Chain A
Amino acid sequence: MPINYYLFLSLALFSIGMVGVLTRRNAIIIFMCIELMLNAVNLLLVAFSKMHHLKNLATSATAGTDGQLFVFFIMVVAAAEVSVGLAIIVMMYRNIHSVDIQFLNRLKH
């Protein structure tokens, strides 16, 4: 497949995630939209790694492995990030009994 298609698909997914972050008020949904944006970037990284592989197939049999390992590490970091982030959201819910980010605009009180 032409790499352009993957590029535009990833851009569309990323923008949908961005729209979600901007239009929702539920902290959990915003967090999920960030996960969607991460996944869009992952998809593009895999597509580019396969492009690189096809381009450098003659010189090196493992060209493009780095991109896929990078995706693997992004998934690792995302898993750690989700566990801590959800713990923070649960703590916030325990304190103010809501996940509405509108209540978080006064950090000094």
Chain B
Amino acid sequence: MNVTPYIFWFLSVLALFSALMMVTSRNPVYSVLWLIGTFFAISGHYILLNAQFLAVVNIIVYAGAIMVLFLFVIMLMNLNRETEPQKNRWLKFIGALAGGCLLLVLVAALKDAELKSQQAMVGGGSIGLIKVLGKELFTRYVVPFEISSLLFLSAMIGAAVIGKKENSQTLNS
């Protein structure tokens, strides 16, 4: 018995349901938790596609680091259900309608694409393994890799400069 389609459908439903709950829940902390659920479902898809390195990086970087950062900021500001600003009902309806139209147009444009007979390789293949990706990353993609370290340095400095209190400056001058 081939179990792969069942796993695929389970992970897809999980991802879509978590994403919907993330958008609709009033409490921002619940939104973060549902988004973590979505990221775990997407990581499950990566494992299903045998992209093991990306699955692990997705869990560590997204579900681990970035979501903890979001949670930390939300708890720092003490946001909850009562302080959550709400758009009025018509704006919400129109927003959902616009998103639905986007989905409709994209699906209508892509459903007849020349991809019908193509298959995504599930389970096999070694390109998702860290050995192959690492070799490629440190030979052909070594320049972008080093540049991304510069990006991180500038992001770190930028976050520190933006987050700094401005009181000390006014005291000195």
A interface residues with partner B (beta carbon < 8 Å): 1-9, 11-20, 22-26, 28-29, 31-33, 35-36, 39, 42-43, 46-51, 53-55, 57, 61-66, 68-69, 71-73, 75-84, 86-91, 93, 98-100, 102
A50–B118 Cα distance when bound, in Å, is: 10
A-B contact count (CB 8 A): 235
Cβ A39 vs Cβ B62 within 8 A: yes
A57–B126 Cα distance when bound, in Å, is: 11
From DSSP, what is the main secondary structure of chain A's interface residues?
A: helix
Cβ A55 vs Cβ B92 within 8 A: no
Cβ A87 vs Cβ B28 within 8 A: no
> With contacts A22-B99, A47-B120 known, what are 8 further pairs, Cβ within 8 A?
A19-B96, A42-B42, A62-B132, A64-B127, A75-B61, A79-B61, A83-B155, A86-B159
* 8 A Cβ contacts from B27-50 to A: 28, 31-32, 35, 38-39, 42, 45-46, 49-50
A20–B87 Cα distance when bound, in Å, is: 12
Task: Using C-beta atoms within 8 Å of the partner chain, give the interface range for chain B.
Answer: 35 or more
* Binary per-residue interface labels of chain B (11-39) against chain A in the complex, 1 for a CB within 8 Å, 0 otherwise: 01001100110110000100110010011
Cβ B133 vs Cβ A15 within 8 A: no
* Shortest distance from the beta carbon of B140 to any chain A beta carbon, whole Å: 9
A98–B85 Cα distance when bound, in Å, is: 9
Cβ B69 vs Cβ A72 within 8 A: no
